[in-house]
Structure 1
Amino acid sequence: MKLSVRMTLFNFICLFALTILVFSILYGFSRKSILASEEEDILRRSQVGGMKMMHGFMARGRTFPGDFLAGTWDNQTFRVIQNPWDLDPRLWKEGMIERDGEHFLFISIERAGEKYLLGKNVSTSIRSLERIRIVAWYLIPVLAGLVLFIGYFLTEYWLKPLRELNRALYKMSSENLSFRFPVASTLDEIEELKLALNKMLHSFEQGYFIQKRFVSNVSHQLRTPLSSIIGYIQMLQRWGDENPKIRKEAIDAIEKTAQEMKELTENLLSLSRAGHITEVKNIALEEVVKSIIEQWQKKNPERLFRLLVNASP
């Protein structure tokens, strides 16, 4: 699965879950607020009704708005005062009641030492809230699909520089190690990655050329003694059987060259184990130069090699 798809799905799931959670919390809070507002309305209107009890129909000294359901307790017996909605009194209780699609909210109050159970039809408020909930449940998946669609293309757009980096890295070889990624002035995470890759490519380029030069030097150092050994072997094949002096000289030279090659190999092995740490020490330059001249003299006996030194003592 592509990285853009994984990122889009992850963001979509997180956003969808967060949206559901937030909506559920808001819905519960709105429902609670509406019911609290309806309770306040019942209390407020019941107080107004009590103030007008001398001018309206009275129930043991109290009147209530005509749309209220009202009842009281008379010697532990519940008595209905008014029931404009013909709701079965056996269903009356404090809190929310739902009957035949109608919603009623009941609260208990105490007035002048008497306890009343007052109810109100709150179906209009509940239906409005339910319509909002239904619309939201249909709207959330549509918005989620839109977010998923837009999020995928945005993720594809944001990941485009990474794909370009990937393609450029795939095309790299030893012939174009000098390539560097262009870095924009907006130093975001992608540009920082380009800077890091450019630094790494610079190190690779330097290391590659150092390795190439090292291999060239080693090849040269090995080619010289090998050529010397081959020359002495050819000398043995020509005159070794007839001239013991030449045979001995050739064998000694081959042995000496082999020892030098052994030392060179051991030095290379030590160098690789030491992590390319060079041991610096003083050497007798004259002896080294004489040894090289001696090797070339034996390899080319028909030529004369002479060392000229022009240096301060």
Structure 2
Amino acid sequence: MKIRQDRLAINPLQWVASADGWIDPTLAPPLDEQLAVIRDAGLKALHSAVPGDLTPKAYAARLADHGISPAPGYIPVRLTDDDAERRTFRDTAARVAGHHAELGVDTVFLAMGMAKDAERVARPAVGHLADQGRLERVRDLLAEMAGIIRAEGIAPAFHPHVGTWAETEEETRFVLDTVDPSVLAFGPDMGHLAWAGADAAQLVRDYADRVASVHIKDLDLGLAARAREAGWDYRKTVLAGLWSEPGHGNADIEGFVGALPDDFDGWLIVEVDRGARPTPEESVRLCGEWAAQYA
């Protein structure tokens, strides 16, 4: 397996993994500290997330100071009947897509978002309370947001995620099969799909012409299966040691990457939702060592 280093990035979630098995962005160290660690790990691109106190131009300059390029970021949305909240999601999608356009990044991941008290966070990865009518609303929401993103010249890549109303293989296929490819691309996360028992590599093969960029993860597949069977909640599963640095779990990363089309030129973004190492810095370093093997 050979990976294009100029299309390999990291989303350093290690720094924001909270003690309760969730994500807390306030835990992140200053941007320049993160960039120095990422650079020293040999990684050359970063998941784009323009801070509120920087313009896209200033953000790009900060990355460039460390020899790092911007890569696709992430837009989460949720079902809501509140018009003001819906407008906020629309505005956020347009703003983040506009940032990507200014950064010269042509793809952004589009996913359903999570909340700590959500029903599928309490019973994740099994399609809990599946409902066709709700799934159609999810599809319509993703298509609407995708249209807003497209209007900024950016390709929205649908990103199934455990704990949301679009987490299983069946739900993934429904969304992709019922939204026109010219509107919505595909941005699979091999780890979240595997946690939900899906065959991520087969999904990549089946929707090869729509795969825009992907997330690379490693995990303990046996633990994922035990958690699904036992009905563990999202945070319990994460805290039990689900995630690990690439090459340190038993996910078939090579099979997933090997399923990508020969002419694939999208991004591969490494994510470790919760590092298995003592410090986030050590976790990022191991991500860089894994990537260097495939240069």
Structure possessing the higher relative contact order (Cα contacts under 8 Å, 6 or more residues apart): 2
Question: Larger helix proportion, structure 1 or 2?
Answer: 1
Q: Shared fold (TM-score greater than 0.5)?
A: no
TM range (shorter): under 0.3
Q: Which has the larger radius of gyration?
A: 1
TM-score (norm 1): 0.15
